[in-house]
Structure 1
Amino acid sequence: MNPSPTPPPSEPRLTSLSHGGGCGCKIAPGVLSEILKGTSALPVPRELLVGIETADDAAVYRLNDEQALIATTDFFMPIVDDPHDFGRIAATNAISDVYAMGGKPIMALALVGMPIAVLSTATIGRILEGGASVCREAGIPIAGGHTIDSVEPIYGLVALGLVHPSRVKRNADARAGDALMLGKALGVGVMSAALKKGKLDDAAYQRMLATTTKLNTPGPELAALDGVHALTDVTGFGLAGHALEIARGSGCSVEIDWAAVPLLDGVQTLAGDGFVTGASGRNWAAYGAEVSLAGSLPSQAQALLSDPQTSGGLLVSCSPAAVGAVLEIFARHGFDAAAAIGRVTAAGEGPKLRVT
């Protein structure tokens, strides 16, 4: 049932070479916090509008009154076996962080680590061409990069963009009373787990590929709306993890209506059958104590809330009056699954995130 093209007899499946795929490779949130614990003491120039303080999607540096530079990087091991598809997914995911800050990408640098003794130059070339095809779609050049010989295949980008300083959208500026909007359906991690075990049919693979290679182009238009207060994208820490980042950074709480959360077709069944990534469990272990789940939720809800999303959707906190405009922008860019999924509330006692 594995829809990915079979590699040449001399080459293994790409996913067999990686201990984890896509954004499921991320270091668990709790471990990452411990690693980064002492770095905030470093001196910060006033031109640095966004740094590491709230675990935002990218760094933003003010250049002048009209321009700020967005700088981000993202790379990971294969989530699929087709090399061209792997390159496309990795590049889309990396560029997403520029859109999530409200900016437009201007160029990229390639980050390439490949097991040269295991993969052919043709296969590695297909990975890079997949990434380049997405950069062409985004209208930006790959202006350089760096390569190493590594044990596991790794590919990604450094992505650079520009944004007006007044339109930078952080993940820490949500307001009590805001609506919470999600741009893409969830379930990529579950699908990747099924794919790795050869249990994902071709139709499901195409659904996964379509969502993971769709650029989050609504970002700049959303940032231009007065009613949009906070913006991020849902990636390796899952919907719950990134909603919690908004809550913590904004000094608020978040409520999610599970029935309103869009899910990729078939993922509830796959999750119920046990196709859940190890990263999902690590995510929940890191932040589950901050989440309250209603007893009426389906058994798969916890796994899907913590499911690592590779190249996931934009998560928008906006005034209720802006909901229609936000949905219209998403629809115009072809994001048919976009939906209002919850609300931001004043901080109170107990969990930062409630799912009902």
Structure 2
Amino acid sequence: MTDRLTQYAHGGGCACKIPPGELERVVAGLTGTPADPHGDLLVGLDTGDDAAVVGLCQDLALVATTDFFTPVVDDAYDWGRIAAANALSDVYAMGGRPVVALNLLGWPRDVLPMELVAEVLRGGADVVASAGCHLGGGHSVDDPEPKYGLAVTGVVDPRHIMRNSSGRAGVPLSLTKPLGLGVLNNRHKATGEVFPHAVEVMSTLNRDAAAAAVAAGVTCATDVTGFGLLGHLHKLARASGVTAVIDSAAVPYLDGAREALRDGYVSGGTRRNLEWVAPHASLGPDSLLLADAQTSGGLLIAGEIPGATVIGELVPRESHTVVVR
């Protein structure tokens, strides 16, 4: 028996998401549901944003999200850290602060040792604690495929929510983490090669970037995960009624990402991302890398903040939602 966790998963990380086109068709009938009589649904299903937001009073709203996935790395502790950072990111992407999290765990208890479970949960707990968030328990099931993540509840000032639908023409687009996590993770799964710099990026919280964005008055943001930069750009531009123009030469990539692409370590999720966006985009260089399915990626911000890379701008709506130059 091998304890290489990635060998027990059909996919890896956010690359194992249901394809965006299929998902949108499934949830289409769920939009427009009545608001909760005990609060105003400020952000729901309509634009496919990162989390739900319910207004409680004039200066307080509740942010709710959940995220879990199959192993993206073989080290159990690192997988726990990455999965936790990824789940917390949805709250940060809305401009909020996580308050309490619950573990979500699926584990093949007769196949993989329970000692590995302890390491996964320890990694998640350490990241949750570093976020200043409570960890209040959770739920587990006996599952033939290992899965881990969190359900997270946070708070946000309703006057400072960052939405994917509030972008406006004339505003720069910034990215807070480099791309290439998908191809490096896929190489790791196939070969066992370890990429510590990718693990460091994935386990880094988006907390500081979100705080800087809120302080700068940013109202439009999303995080870049399984649908890739192109997919999340398409969703943001479509929801905001604008076009996103990207300078491909300005987009930052992790060391080794281009080599991994060259050597064919591209997930099926990345290819499906590109297929979904292509009819709505004018694509140029690096299209496949721009569609790379990220796990615990950075924030895509309509604005400028310290430490982020400006990769393009929003312009009035053209025939395409995304233009790559």
User: In which range does the TM-score fall when normalised by the shorter chain?
Assistant: over 0.9
Give, in angstroms, the shift of residue 59 of structure 1.
Answer: 0.4
In the other structure, the counterpart of 1:353 is 322
Name segments (4+ residues, structure 1) moved above 6 Å.
none
Give the CA deviation at 1:224. 3.1
Aligned length: 322
Identical residues among aligned pairs (%): 45
| Residue pairs, 1:120-131, within 5 angstroms | 120-131=113-124
CA distance in 2, matches of 1:213, 1:272: 26
Report whether the alignment pairs 1:195 with 2:188.
yes
| 1:78 to partner: Cα distance | 0.2
1:312 and 2:305 aligned: no
User: Which of 34, 37, 41 is residue 28 of structure 2 equivalent to?
Assistant: 37
Q: How does 1:4-23 map to 2 (within 5 A)?
A: 10-23=1-14
1:58 equivalent among 51, 54, 64:
51
Within 1, Cα distance between the matches of 2:211 and 2:102? 21
| Cα shift readout 1:299-334 (whole Å, capped 9, x = no counterpart) | xx122111111000000002xxxx3xx12xxx3xxx
Contact (CA 8 Å) 1:87, 1:127: kept in 2 or not?
yes
- Equivalent residue number for residue 248 of structure 1: 238
What SS does structure 2 have at the residue aligned with 1:63? strand
Q: In the alignment, is residue 258 of structure 1 matched against residue 248 of structure 2? A: yes
Does the 8 Å contact 1:11/1:118 carry over to 2? no
> Is it true that 1:231 corresponds to 2:216 in the alignment?
no
2-side partners of 1:41 and 1:345: how far apart?
A: 28
Q: After superposition, give the CA deviation of every residue in 1:163-206 in whole Å (9 maximum; x if it has no partner).
A: 11101110110001010000000000000111011163x4xx10
Show the counterpart of 1:173: 166
Normalising by structure 1, report the TM-score.
0.88
Q: In 1, distance between residues paired with 2:49 and 2:121? A: 27
* Comparing 15-24 and 36-45, the one that deviates more: 36-45
Secondary structure at 2:320's aligned position in 1?
Answer: coil
**Is 2:17 aligned against 1:26?**
yes
Letter in 1 for 2:109: I
1:39 maps to amino acid:
L
Rounded to whole Å, the distance in 2 between the matches of 1:41 and 1:72 is 19
* Preserved contact between residue 160 and residue 219 of structure 2 (Cα < 8 Å): no
Q: Which amino acid aligns with 1:141?
A: H
In structure 2, what is the Cα distance between the partners aligned to 1:106 and 1:264?
31
Match of 1:75 in 2: 68
Alignment check: 8 A CA contact 1:104 1:220 kept: no
Supply the distance in 2 between the matched residues of 1:229 and 1:147 (Cα, whole angstroms). 36
Shift in CA distance, 95/111, structure 1 to aligned 2, threshold 3 Å: same
Query: Contact 1:175/1:229 (CA < 8 Å) preserved in 2?
Result: no
Answer whether contact 2:43 2:54 (CA < 8 A) is retained: yes
* 1:277 is the counterpart of 2:267: yes
**Cα distance change, pair 32–58 in 1 and its aligned pair in 2 (3 A):** same
Deviation at 1:11, TM superposition (A): 4.2
- Which whole-Å CA distance do the structure 2 matches of 1:255 and 1:302 have between them? 13
Equivalent residues of 1:49, 1:62 under 8 A apart: yes
TM-score (normalizing by structure 2): 0.96
Partner SS for 2:294: coil
Aligned counterparts of 2:291 and 2:53: Cα–Cα separation in 1: 27
Partner deviation per Cα, 1:221-270 (whole Å, 9 max, x = no partner): 312323x2301100000000001111000001110000000100111111
Give yes or no for contact 2:183–2:261 (8 Å, CA) kept in 1.
yes
Unaligned runs of 5+ in 1: 1-9, 332-337
Counterpart position of 1:105:
98
Q: How is 1:153-172 mapped onto 2 (pairs within 5 angstroms)?
A: 153-172=146-165
How far apart, in 2, do the equivalents of 1:155 and 1:122 lie?
15
